[in-house]
Amino acid sequence: MEAPAELTGRAPAKAREKAPADRPRAPVRVVTAPPIRSVSADSAASKAAKPARPTELSKPSRSAQQDEPDKPAQPTQPDEPDKPARTAELSKPTQQAKPAAPPCDDDRPGLRAPHRGTDPPPPRLRAPADLRALVGRRDARDALAAVAAWSRELGAPFSASSGAALVSWAAESRRLRSPDEAPRPGDLLVFDQAQSDDASDLVAIVVDRDDRGVTELIYLAGGVVRRGLVDASRPAIHRDASGATVNTYLRHGRRWPGKGMHYLAGELLGHVIRMR
């Protein structure tokens, strides 16, 4: 028995036959599927047999490290005696060392070392002008003792333990002169507060007197024989109009500022002692 058309959804045969033949049909949509890749058995086997990366093969597992009984011991450090040699090798400079200087000839005289006691003996003093040869020499004696030795060698000895005692002796022997009187070669000059705050603390010996009226003197200060100039008639002038020295800066004490604030030789000159 044939089911009704309402249930089957089909049009009756007669209706299908009556359908016009020129009725337009709906366009058919063609859908293409992607091609299916076929995997062969050979390619699968080659992929399975592909070796692992070197890091995975070279890196042993933790369990293998624990189970490995014959693991070789780590190399020991070199012995202690080889360590200094290695340190010296590492500490070598990268730059090439400079070549050593050629040795000097044996017959060439060497330079004299300064202040090593190699100075020639002092010259013999026959006149006050010979004192100039002593300038710059080191002398460890007391300043007054050095002047006394020079004066004695020049033929005018005196004995005094201090500058004040020398002034007292000159006054008793009538040798004391005022600072304004022109000194002569070989006379003694006594200065006040030149190296301390005391009077008559420095004694010098006269060498000569020039045409300007400036007196040349030699004295010992700081262990070195020195040369100075003094002119009592122009005590506060250091240099004249031509630039020549008139009065030397004679104060050489360690205190600062000094008592009286005078520094030139003409300002510090106290007495002239006539020795001849």
How high is the pLDDT of residue 265? 95
From 84-88, 152-156, 162-166, 250-254, the region with the lowest mean pLDDT = 84-88
Dump pLDDT digits (tens) for 91-139: 555 555 555 555 444 444 454 555 555 667 888 899 999 999 999 999 9
pLDDT over 50 at 78, yes or no = yes
Count of C-beta atoms within a 10 Å radius of residue 84: 9
**Contact call for residues 233 and 180 (beta carbons, < 8 A):** yes
The reported pTM is 0.57
Distance CA 34, CA 56 (A): 38
184 C-beta neighbours (distance < 10 Å), count: 16
Q: Which residues have CB under 8 Å from 263's CB, separation 6+? A: 249, 250, 251
Residue 94's SS3 state is coil
Residue 38 in tokens: 């076929």
Contact 245, 229 (CB under 8 A): yes
The beta strand positions in the chain, using DSSP E, are 176-177, 188-191, 202-209, 215-221, 224-230, 269-273
Q: What's the gap between Cα 121 and its chain centre?
A: 39
- Which pLDDT does position 252 carry in this prediction? 78
Query: Tell me, what's the pLDDT at 44?
Result: 53
